Structure 1
Amino acid sequence: MNFASTTLFTVAQTVMKMLAGFVVIKIVASLSGPEGMSNLGVVQNVNLIYVMLCGGIMATGITKNIASNDRNKSLFGIFNSVKSLESKLSIIASIIVVIVIVLLYFLSSHDYQNLMLLIIISLVLTFFHAKVLIYISALNGLFKIRELSGLHILASVFTIIISTVTYYLYPDWRLAVVSLPLGYAIVFFIIRKERNRLYRYYNRIEINKSAKESIQQYAIFGVISAICLPTSQLIIRTYIANDISVHDSGIWQGVIRFSEVYLVLISSALSVYLIPKISNMKDGKCIKRLVYHFVGIVSLVSIAGMFAIYSMREYIIVILFDDTFEEMASLFLYQLPGDFFKIISWVFAFSMLGLGSVKKMLILEVIFSLTYVVLSILGVNVLGVKGAVVAYSINYVLYFFAIGIIFGVEVGKHKKKST
């Protein structure tokens, strides 16, 4: 499937995911203001860690290994390897999450303790989200873009319907938060029979050891990634809440959450197309040409989109949030440059994962998660909430230059190997 077709299906699924995300944001913002938005960030950070530890960490490795193998017996061995790893990860993730919840309850403030029940319910639903994510990553490796897009769209439709209906019947922002993982949980039970049928068939085929080792490498990267970003956001949010106010942490969370929702439009298209595409490519020169072509296209689209967002920022805040979030308007100027460099960096990041450069990506993830926290704390001390947003942009400018240089080195090595 070419990039145009991939983009068409990916845009359809992503528009629905964006719509679902914005509906939830609007409900939470209108019912509980910046404080509720801050709590939404806490719940979603914990959910993200769990969905990754529960199997999402393997997603990129699954896609790469399936895409780079012929449709033969070894491919089925990869699926059986996935089943073996998935079962172990589910047990480990559940144990870790129980420990984290206990620590959060005893070590966190009273406000966070009140979130425990909401977090637990969300985590139960997120378990099924992880199973769907694994299945979708396999479809991506098989280039079944239409099917995986359909599952994403279906989950988003369920989220929109559930959150909207509950808003009118029982207006509680916590129900809107739960509707996000609930959409994927419903999809899991729809595809459960197909998953079980495939697993029963693959169980008769020997595990592909090389694929298992490769997926485990991606899983290690996934673990680090799943811990670094949500944890850094939790630290920054908590620092803002303690140093300034919970209201200001909610304003910061609103800006971050808005960026996350609209950026998924581009990141989804890149991950669905670039990783399986580059996994199949052997010539380093062709890879380099493809990646730089993407950088050009993504740059133009991003600049146009961000100019439109900045021009309409006041209307966006009123439509997606409410008047209590009007302070966000002044922060867009400092947030959007970071979003731009983040998107361009993703082109290199997904390409490096397609090349199998997992260890270097892992190191970058750790380093720039730490610099993000340090720069944000320094920024908050000097400029308040604006300082955290400025730190976000500075961090991604530095990340862009670092990953661009490393990509050039890695693709050069790939070129030598292929000759």
Structure 2
Amino acid sequence: MTLVGTTLLNGIAVLARLFTGLALNKVLAVMVGPTGYGVIGQFQSFAGMIVALASAPVTNGVVKYTAEFGGQPERRAAVWRTAATLGLMLSLGLAVLMVCFQRPLAAWSIADADRSYLVVILACALAFMVLNALLLAILNGLKQVRALVVANIAGSVISALTAIGLVTWQGLNGALAALAVSQSVAFVVTLFIFRRQVGASLRSMVGRLDPQLARGLGRFAIMGLTSAIVVPIAQMVMRDHLARTLGWSTAGLWQALWKISETHLLLLTSTLSVYFLPRFAEIQDAGELRRELKRGLAFVIPLVLCTSGLLFFGRNQIVRLMLSDRFLPMLDAFGPQLLGDILKVVSLVPAYTMLSHGQTRVYVVTEILFSAVLAGLTVWFSQTMGLRGAALGYAATYALYGITMWFVLRRLLARLGSKPAPDLAIAAEAAPS
């Protein structure tokens, strides 16, 4: 499917996630306020880290090899079987550890050991979350965009309804529980769509590991594990610092600002994942990769500039719509946060070439380095400029990250045997005049 076709279809899924996210954010903002939002953010980071740890072997590696072995059904089935077995083994091991250490984990993640039951709920749901991620990755690798869109829409709606019901029933505790179970509830729908579209059963996808494929998936798992550990920890460090120095209310405002950024970038980042990750994985020619990069930049640069401008000029109304009047103090940080969004999107296009070509060592080093840079700059800038300083730290980090990714891209193109590799001028060539 073409980039435009993929974007349009994916846009439908993004709109569904956007509307369900708006509804959920509104309920959360009214029910728990900025302080509760900060606590939710802490547990969300913890849950995201655990889920990413368990699903590391079943995400980007599965997308790459499913796309790469498009004409080899037996090899492709071996990829799925190996990934599913690895993912289930890892999720079972993590679940046992979480149950054994539930109170210390609850005390660390949300500073409340008495809420350790949330860790147990997350442990019980973990295997279903891993299987959900695996099935979505297979659909992505097969370029079954329509099925992937339907699965994402259904999952978003069901997860949001589950969360809204639990929040309405139990307030903050319900919101925290929803984070632990929402993806596992979506698995039921994803499995139904997968069975109809692909025809493979879960039973056929669990069995003997292929050692060669396990090593290949292991490279991607290392990248996923790195992100699973360092990114949430960096967020938790930043949130904890803001809570200790400026109060949990400011930490909640920062969390809401990040949530708006996630919603803002949803179409762009999900399109990069759905279209460019399998597409870049197929490309082994430097010239073709250069052309695809230009197409990607020509797509993302004007779009992110347009959406950022609309958000900036409508920021007052957007905060009132998505959240409530209690979140209006975050408006001062909107400008630098949107600048960070723009820089992030431009840097992600070359970053996906690194991910799709399995440059494990470079990925691990840059992920650790820039997570540390983000946490460090956020802490440093926020000490003198408060919430606005935290947003400036985000923008500065992605400026440095983007420059680094273009140098990484030059090395990849040189390795693929290109003519002199592109530099930042590609962005200028790609942007419309």
TM-score by length of 1: 0.91
- SS of the equivalent of 1:282 reads coil
Aligned to 1:189: 188
Distance in 2, matches of 1:41 and 1:107, equals 13
Over 3 Å counting, the alpha-carbon distance change for 1:78 and 1:349 in structure 2 is same
Alignment of 1:264-283 (within 5 A): 264-283=266-285
Mean Cα displacement is larger for which, 96-105 or 142-151?
A: 96-105
Residues 280, 33 of structure 1: CA spacing in aligned structure 2 closer, same or farther, 3 A cutoff? Answer: same
Q: Is the 8 A contact 1:18 1:265 kept in 2?
A: no
Tell me if structure 2 keeps the 8 A contact 1:50–1:97.
no
CA distance in 1: counterparts of 2:167 and 2:393, whole angstroms: 36
Is contact 2:57–2:87 with CA below 8 Å preserved after alignment? no
Aligned residues: 414
In structure 2, the partner of 1:83 is: 84
Whole-angstrom distance in 1 between the partners of 2:184 and 2:372: 33
CA contact (8 A) 2:64 2:141 kept: yes
| Matched-pair contact (CA < 8 Å) for 1:47–1:126 | no
**How big is the shift at 1:114?**
5.2
Identity of aligned residues (%): 23
Separation in 2, partners of 1:37, 1:200: 40
Q: Which position in structure 1 is the counterpart of 2:171?
A: 172
Q: Which residue of 1 aligns with 2:13?
A: 13
Q: What does the per-residue CA deviation read over 1:32-60, in whole Å, with 9 as the maximum and x for residues that have no partner?
A: 21101101101211111111112145300
Contact residue 58 and residue 216 of structure 1 kept, 8 A: no
Partner residue, 1:137: 137
Q: How far off is 1:344 after superposition?
A: 1.2
Compared with structure 1, are the counterparts of its residues 299 and 173 closer, same or farther at alpha carbon in structure 2 (3 Å cutoff)?
same
Tell me how far 1:359 sits from its aligned partner: 1.9
Which among 356, 359, 372 is matched to residue 357 of structure 1? 359
Matched, 1:47 2:50: no
Distance apart, 1:331 and its partner CA: 0.6
C-alpha RMSD of the superposition = 2.5
The residue number in structure 1 matching 2:422 is none
Are 1:129 and 1:181, in contact at CA under 8 Å, matched by a contact in 2? no
Residue 221 of structure 1 is matched in structure 2 by 223
Report if the CA contact (8 A) 2:88-2:130 is conserved: no
The change in CA–CA distance for 1:108 and 1:297 in structure 2 (over 3 A counts) is: closer
Deviates more, 1:313-322 or 1:192-201: 192-201
Q: Do 2:234 and 2:375's aligned partners in 1 also have CA atoms closer than 8 Å?
A: yes
SS in structure 2 of the partner of residue 384 of structure 1: helix
Q: 2:57, 2:86 within 8 Å by CA — same for their partners in 1?
A: no
Deviations along 1:334-375, one digit per CA (max 9) or x if unpaired, are: 111111111111111222211222221111000001111111
| Greater shift in the superposed pair: 75-84 or 174-183 | 174-183
Moved more, 157-166 or 332-341: 157-166
Partners in 2 of 1:79 and 1:413 — Cα distance?
Answer: 29
Task: Specify which of 285, 288, 291 is matched with residue 290 of structure 2.
Answer: 288
Equivalent residues of 2:154, 2:189 under 8 A apart: no
- Counterpart CA distance in 1 for 2:199 and 2:396 is 47
Q: Following TM superposition, by how much is the alpha carbon of 1:157 offset from its aligned partner in structure 2, in angstroms? A: 1.4
Q: Aligned with 1:143: secondary structure?
A: coil
Q: What is the deviation of 1:232?
A: 0.5
Q: Distance between the aligned counterparts of 1:8 and 1:43, measured in 2? A: 33
Unaligned runs of 5+ residues in structure 1 are none
Shift of 1:294: 0.9
Per mean C-alpha deviation after superposition, the further-off stretch among 46-55 and 397-406 is: 46-55
**CA distance in structure 2 between the partners assigned to 1:108 and 1:87 by the alignment:** 24
When structure 1 is superposed on structure 2, of 285-294 and 11-20 the one drifting more is 11-20
- The equivalent residue for 2:161 is 161
> Larger relative contact order (C-alpha < 8 A, sep ≥ 6)?
1
Q: CA offset at residue 229 of structure 1?
A: 1.0
> What aligned pairs does 1:280-319 form with structure 2 within 5 A after superposition?
280-319=282-321
Deviation at residue 295 of structure 1 after TM alignment: 1.5
How do residues 19-418 of structure 1 correspond to structure 2 at under 5 angstroms?
19-69=19-69, 70-98=71-99, 101-106=102-107, 112-113=112-113, 115-165=115-165, 170=169, 172-179=171-178, 182-190=181-189, 192=191, 194=195, 198-202=201-205, 207-415=209-417
- 2: CA distance between counterparts of 1:199 and 1:279? 26
Tell me: CA distance 1:221–1:2, structure 2 relative to 1, closer, same or farther (3 Å): same
| 2:426 alignment counterpart | none
**What letter matches 1:35 in structure 2?**
T
Alpha-carbon contact 1:159-1:180 (below 8 Å) kept: no
1:122 is displaced (CA, Å) by 4.5
Aligned CA distance change for structure 1 residues 107 and 298 (closer, same or farther; 3 Å) = closer
**1:199/1:124 Cα in 2 relative to 1: closer, same or farther (>3 Å)?**
closer
**Contact kept in structure 2, 1:74 and 1:208, CA below 8 Å:** no
Structure 1, 133-142 or 176-185: larger mean CA deviation: 176-185
Structure 2 CA distance, aligned partners of 1:101 and 1:341?
Answer: 39
- Contact preservation (8 Å) 2:34, 2:327: yes
CA–CA separation in structure 2 for the residues paired with 1:370 and 1:260:
20
Give me the whole-angstrom Cα distance separating, in 2, the residues matched to 1:378 and 1:213.
40
Is this contact kept in 2: 1:228–1:365, CA < 8 A? yes
Counterpart of 1:82, as a letter, is: A
**Cα distance in 1 between the residues matched to 2:232 and 2:109:** 16
CA contact (8 A) 1:29 1:37 kept: yes
- State the alpha-carbon separation in 2 of the partners of residues 165 and 106 from structure 1: 26
SS of structure 2 residue aligned to 1:54: helix
Which is further off, 147-156 or 178-187?
Answer: 178-187
Bigger drift between 218-227 and 9-18 goes to: 9-18
Displacement after TM superposition at 1:324 (Å): 0.7
